[in-house]
């Protein structure tokens, strides 16, 4: 595995591989890698000749500076894991390398209003930062295929919108959520949970499962209220939202019959760690991005 810090060096290497007819798969991450990330690199390796992984804790997408400071950084273990998994290039740039002019120069982009739903109501500016960094990374890595996780449902939805809207020549591929044995969605932030909170955290997943099970027995509003009440009853849980939305527009829905692609999404503070998760409740349209 070749580790590259300079954007120009990566672009040069990728251009020469592409000139030789090699296809390139790209997996952007913020590091502290786990099996969720590795499942993306495996999909990328299956579908491409060359796999590029980036590790960049992007300051512009952190609306909470404390979260940025506490974000786990485990470069040594990450490099080991990536080389064991046959990754060709690790791109590990500095902030200056990604934002040479000024990291704060605003990327003022509207994702068709979808950025204002779900996470957008709680993390102002977050998706602008995500769009900014993904656009920049795609310019540097010029991949054929981009791999993202369903774990961040709104994120991949917005990136899909941006790719189509700006005509960025890349195919987005979305891989399923990888979970711990007890159902907790793998996340770099899980290591920050206390032992007690870690034990309770799978309630997020069981609540999603129950919602799916009862989708025809209750109204959308009732299901959302039941989930929020459940979270509120758990010690150390502070729910921000539990929302059932249309999987394409991310807008709240009233009735499941009127939509063929439906997702339930949540954000809950578990102790001082903010966790998100989601589950597709209905997919009659076989949404084509999903692997
Ligand atoms: P992050 O490092 O958290 O920015 O995540 C990098 C990529 O890995 C994103 O596309 C995430 O959606 C994806 N990812 C994170 N956790 C998981 C998981 N548990 N299962 C599948 N993909 C994941």
From atom 19 of ligand 1, which residue's Cα is the shortest distance away? 186
Residue 286 phi, psi dihedral angles, 5° rounding: 40, 70
Q: How far is the CA of 56 from the centre of ligand 1 (A)?
A: 13
The reported pLDDT for the residue numbered 281 is: 97
Per-residue pLDDT of 110-133, as tens digits, reads 999 999 999 999 999 999 999 999
Mean pLDDT rounded to a whole number for the chain: 96
- Residue 186 in contact with ligand 1 by CB distance below 6 A: yes
From atom 13 of ligand 1, which residue's Cα is the shortest distance away? 149
The reported pLDDT for the residue numbered 108 is: 87
The reported pLDDT for the residue numbered 153 is: 98
Q: How far is the CA of 95 from the centre of ligand 1 (A)?
A: 21
Distances, alpha carbon 46 to alpha carbons 18, 40, 146, in Å: 17, 10, 13
Residues with pLDDT less than 50, the chain: none
Task: Report which DSSP code applies to 176.
Answer: P
Distance CA 137, CA 4 (A): 13
Do residues 205 and 277 make contact, with C-beta atoms less than 8 angstroms apart? yes
- Spot the catalytic one: 34, 37, 43, 105: 37
CA angle 68, 275, 218 (to 5 degrees): 150
Q: How far is the CA of 83 from the centre of ligand 1 (A)?
A: 18
DSSP 93-160: --HHHH-SS-TTS------TTGGGSGGGGTSTTHHHHHHHHHHHHHHHH--SEEEEEGGGHHHHHHHH
Pocket mutation for ligand 1, best pick of 129, 152, 274, 289 (most atoms within 8 Å of C-beta): 152
Closest atom, ligand 1, to C-alpha of 27: 7
Residue 105 annotated in active site: no
Distance CA 10, CA 28 (A): 14
- Residue 53 in contact with ligand 1 by CB distance below 6 A: no
Burial of 256 (0-12, 13-18, 19+ CB in 10 A): middle
Do residues 243 and 279 make contact, with C-beta atoms less than 8 angstroms apart? no
For residue 270, what are the β-bridge partners?
A: 237, 273
Which residues are CB-contacts of 135 (< 8 A; sequence separation ≥ 6)?
107, 162, 166, 168
The reported pLDDT for the residue numbered 259 is: 95
Pocket mutation for ligand 1, best pick of 33, 149, 172, 280 (most atoms within 8 Å of C-beta): 149
Distances, alpha carbon 130 to alpha carbons 73, 134, 258, in Å: 19, 6, 31
- Please, what is the angle between helix 7-19 and helix 126-141, to 10°? 50
Chain mean position to CA 50: 22
Distances, alpha carbon 117 to alpha carbons 141, 225, 281, in Å: 29, 18, 18
CA atoms in the 13 A half-sphere facing the CB of 190: 20
For residue 173, what are the β-bridge partners?
A: 147
Report the candidate in 64, 66, 57 with the shortest Cα–Cα distance to residue 33.
Answer: 57
Distance CA 45, CA 264 (A): 30
Q: How far is the CA of 29 from the centre of ligand 1 (A)?
A: 7
Q: How far is the CA of 217 from the centre of ligand 1 (A)?
A: 32
The reported pLDDT for the residue numbered 106 is: 66
CA angle 164, 169, 172 (to 5 degrees): 65
């Amino acid at each position: 595995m070749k580790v590259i810090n300079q954007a120009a060096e990566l672009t040069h290497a990728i251009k020469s591989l592409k000139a030789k007819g090699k296809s390139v798969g790209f997996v952007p991450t913020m590091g502290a890698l786990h099996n969720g990330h590795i499942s993306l690199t495996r999909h990328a390796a299956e579908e491409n000749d060359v796999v590029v992984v980036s590790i960049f804790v992007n300051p512009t997408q952190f609306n909470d500076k404390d979260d940025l400071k506490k974000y786990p950084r485990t470069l040594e273990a990450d490099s080991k894991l990536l080389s064991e998994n046959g990754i060709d290039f690790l791109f590990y740039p500095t902030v200056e390398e990604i934002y040479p002019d000024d990291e704060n120069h605003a990327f003022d982009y509207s994702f068709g209003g979808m950025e204002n739903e779900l996470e957008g109501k709680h993390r102002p500016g977050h998706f602008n930062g995500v769009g900014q960094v993904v656009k920049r990374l795609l310019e540097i890595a010029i991949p054929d295929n981009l791999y993202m996780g369903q774990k961040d449902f709104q994120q991949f939805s917005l990136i899909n919108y941006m790719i189509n809207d700006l005509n960025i020549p890349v195919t987005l591929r979305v891989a399923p959520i990888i979970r711990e044995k007890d159902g907790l969605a793998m996340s770099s932030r899980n290591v920050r949970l206390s032992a007690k909170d870690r034990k309770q955290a799978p309630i997020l997943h069981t609540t999603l499962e129950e919602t799916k099970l009862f989708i025809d027995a209750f109204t959308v509003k009732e299901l959302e209220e039941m989930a929020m009440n459940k979270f509120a009853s758990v010690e150390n849980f502070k729910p921000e939202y539990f929302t059932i939305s249309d999987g394409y527009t991310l807008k709240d829905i009233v009735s499941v019959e009127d939509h063929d692609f439906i997702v339930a999404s949540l954000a809950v503070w578990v102790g001082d760690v903010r966790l998100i998760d989601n589950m597709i409740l209905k997919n009659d349209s076989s949404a084509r991005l999903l692997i």
